[in-house]
Amino acid sequence: MRILFKNILDKDVQLMLWPLNLMQYMMLCPKYQIKNNLITPNNLISNIISIIATSYRQKMFQVYVDLLECYSILKKCFQQFVSNFQLAIIALLSWFVKDLMWQSLICLRCEKFYIAMQKVKDSCSIILNRNSSDDVRKLCKNVLRLHRASFSKIRACGLFYVDAALQLALMGLLTNYIVFLLQFRFL
């Protein structure tokens, strides 16, 4: 090990160089070290560690290059998406219209079923008010009793009834939220 006598450091300079020295050790590439108030070149072990660290840094740089390449591919894909934005809007609107049509169809079918059930109830009430045989009256009473006890409209997740009024309620809710958001945007 070669020691240069012109490299003597006092304590103040050592304290000033301590962060630089620490950073070099953290990066695994110190070329010199401060020892016994002298700046001395590193030994063979430090040089080997420095070579290993250099290869590690080269691999990390290659990872960074690969990351930038992936980013450029992503950017190209995003540009493709932005250029096809109108197509995406059309697809989104068509999906919304399809869902709205399915919801309307389900509400219509449920409402027709509810109307048919109400007609059965009304027919049984009319039959009970007329002079009918006891068997028919008993049948109508049982139908009305069963209707009161077990029939109820379909509820979606227990939150709202699925009937003809559902579409109007959802459109009213959507309109309220749109007005609310527009107020924040323009006021």
3-state helix/strand/coil string of 25-87: HHCCCCCEEEECCEEEECCHHHHHHHHHHHHHHHHHHHHHHHHHHHHHHHHHHHHHHHHCHHH
162: helix, strand or coil: coil
Which sequence spans correspond to the domains of the chain?
5-79, 84-186
Q: Higher pLDDT residue, 3 or 30?
A: 30
The C-alpha atoms of residue 8 and residue 36 are separated, in whole angstroms, by 9
The C-alpha atoms of residue 134 and residue 136 are separated, in whole angstroms, by 5
Q: What is the pLDDT of residues 126-177, one digit of tens each?
A: 999 988 888 888 999 999 999 999 888 888 888 888 888 988 888 899 899 9
140 close to 120: Cβ distance less than 8 angstroms: no
Full-prediction pTM beyond 0.85?
Answer: no
Q: How far is CA 155 from the centre of its chain?
A: 28
Q: What is the pLDDT of residues 117-126, one digit of tens each?
A: 999 999 999 9
The C-alpha atoms of residue 167 and residue 114 are separated, in whole angstroms, by 16
pLDDT of 99 strictly over 80: yes
